[in-house]
Structure 1
């Protein structure tokens, strides 16, 4: 099994466990990622909005605080995630509306309906 197939199988297994419908995030799509993820800050947070125009809808950041600064998230193709935080790849098959928070020995995954509304209300 190649690496891509192995990652997709981990994603599908996670979706079955929750249960949630598998929703692919192709490696050529981008996600928004905060630079602090590369710094090893914990926990790592992720949330998925509906995808649009070549983006996966995923936003990933590290630490307790979420910044509203316009340049907090940088675009990154999913295929380049290994140099940042490869441990999050298994969560990227979750559909829009899902969130995760991970740290060593800790995992929380939940659905947040507000993520499906672009107005955030």
Structure 2
């Protein structure tokens, strides 16, 4: 099954508009994302076109934004395909994944943030 089809299923499941990320758009990540750590928190902020808006963090993130890095979405697909499934959810969506638990919701305050 393609990443596009599972993303569409995810959006349908949460009754959200399908808003895919282009492979070359940037995703902001913390330490632990590439290493496969959980739990993972994801949030999609309104962003300029070169950015996806997604910020993905693990418990390794200490709140210091200078420790975050930006990577192309295509690398998230390669390294963490289980996270890429959620990344066609539109601005304002959040998810928490940890072990067997999954929590996805819309956060109006995030959606209302200015670029």
Fold agreement, TM-score > 0.5: yes
Q: What RMSD in Å do the two structures reach over aligned CA positions?
A: 1.9
Unpaired runs of 5+ in structure 1?
Answer: none
The answer to whether the Cα contact below 8 Å between 1:59 and 1:73 also exists between their aligned partners in 2 is no
Q: CA deviation at 1:50?
A: 1.1
TM-score, with length taken from structure 2: 0.88
Partner of 1:108: 103
Match of 2:81 among 83, 86, 90: 86
Q: CA deviation at 1:42?
A: 1.7
Greater share of helix residues, 1 or 2?
1
Match of 2:29 among 26, 30, 33: 33
SS in 2 for 1:14: helix
Partner of 1:15: 11
Partner of 2:56: 60
Partner of 2:91: 96
TM-score, with length taken from structure 1: 0.84
Q: CA deviation at 1:14?
A: 0.6
Partner of 1:71: 66
Aligned length: 114
Q: CA deviation at 1:83?
A: 5.1
